[in-house]
Structure formats: structure tokens, C-alpha cells
Chains A and B, each alone.
Chain A
Amino acid sequence: EVQLVESGGGLVQPGGSLRLSCVASGFTFSRHWMHWVRQAPGKGLVWVSRIKSDGSSTSYADSVKGRITISRDNAKNTLYLQMNSLRAEDTAVYYCAREEVYDDISGYHYTPFDYWGQGTLVTVSS
């Protein structure tokens, strides 16, 4: 059974730092791109960042670029999100999500997020 379990959330002051973790099990973690998606209270889903299966490539939303770093340790089946210079607007539930690749008969690759963790709440407030 595929499982993604996030941890590391909590209350942090503006300007502070936090590191989120997502432990994966039930699948070959090193074969999948992984993503972080966040959801502010009462709001919609917002993509934050992604990392290639071997960790060699990363991408970020403009709103977090320069403040957040995604990384992974394939030996530990763990995804990370290092969050620095936190702002009130970073307050959200943070989900890790697995990207799966589906190929159709034409050779197109579709990459939805097929499994999600339960989320960890980050609250930025003084």
C-alpha cells in the first residue's frame, strides 16, 4: 500500500524557518518525481515545488522561489521542504504528492498526482 506521511509542521514566527518531511512507503520512491502542494485555510490547492526522481532537477512556484528548497534522500525514502523567511501568507496545510506517469497509445505522457499524504499544518504568526 502506497503511503506518504508528512511531519514537521507547527507554529513559527514570521521570518522563521521550518523543515517538512514526507516519508514514503509501499512503492519504489527513487523512481518517482515528487511534489509539494499547499492549501491555505479555506482556500484552494496551490502547487509549491517538485523534484526529479534522482534529485537532479527542481522547480518552484514564483511565490516561494528563493525562500524554499525541496530535496530528497532516496536511501531514506524521504522528501523534504526547507522553508526559510516564512511569511504569514505561507500559512497552509502542506501536502506531499507522488507523480505517476501514464502513457497512452500515441506515446503521450500524462503525469497526475496519484497519491497524497495527509498533510502537515504550518502556521506563521507572531
Chain B
Amino acid sequence: DIQMTQSPSSLSASVGDRVTITCRASQSISTYLNWYQQKPGKAPKFLIFAASSLQSGVPSRFSGSGSGTDFTLTISSLQPEDFATYYCQQSYSIPPAFGQGTKVEIK
């Protein structure tokens, strides 16, 4: 099975900051990498597929990059509504594993 590892597990940032979250796969997954955002008590929200393609309606301050084993999610200018936990997920093979999550907190 493919393992997904995110770093950091949590981070503190201020409104307007640029934030980068890293996701690493235990083997190459090409660009079969998705990103989700989850707020407390809510279901995950789909943000990005194919490593860098933004889902319709997702603000352009979100971007994704990477291929193979190393991927990043970047928020160019953090907004108050972006404080949440972010998960990467590989859809290259079954089981479609998630990373452990990165919690973005207010500094």
C-alpha cells in the first residue's frame, strides 16, 4: 500500500501570510494527488485534483504542484476562512490513502 506523509502536522500563520504544506508519497504516484480542506465538525471539501488542477469555485490563492512522490499545497495569501485542516490523498491505487493532515492555525 502507498503511504502518504504530510508536513508539518500543524502550523501557525497570520492573515496575509504565504503558507506551504508538503505531501510525500511512499512511491511514485505521477500526478494522482488530491487536496481537501476540512473545518471542525464539517465534511471535507474538495480543492485540487491531478496535483495542480483547481476544482471549480476554489479561490485562486490556492495552488498545487508536484509529481512523482513530492507535492505541495500553497495558499498565497491566507484568509480568515482558510484556517482549517488540509489533507492530501493519492488516487493512483487502492487503497486511496490520505495524509495525516496539516492543521493551519491562527498565529
Contact = CB atoms under 8 A, between A and B. Distances in A.
Interface of A: 35, 37, 44-47, 50, 59, 61-62, 95, 102, 104, 108, 110-119
- Secondary structure of the B contact surface, majority rule: loop
Nearest to B49: A112
Contacts of B27: none
Contacts of A108: 30-31, 50
Given A45-B44, A104-B50, A117-B43, A112 B100 contact: no
A110 B96 contact: no
Nearest to B51: A110
Contact of B50 (A50, A110, A116): A110
Given A95-B44, A118-B43, A111 B91 contact: yes
**Contact-residue size bin, chain B (C-beta under 8 Å from the other chain):** 20 to 34
Rank and list the top 7 A-B pairs by shortest CB-CB distance, nearest first. A116-B43, A112-B34, A112-B49, A45-B98, A110-B50, A44-B101, A114-B46
Given A110-B49, A113-B34, 14 more contacts: A35-B96, A44-B100, A45-B44, A45-B87, A108-B50, A110-B31, A110-B34, A112-B34, A112-B46, A112-B89, A113-B36, A113-B44, A113-B89, A119-B43
B95 A59 contact: yes
A21 B46 CA distance: 22
B55 interface: yes
Contacts of B38: 45
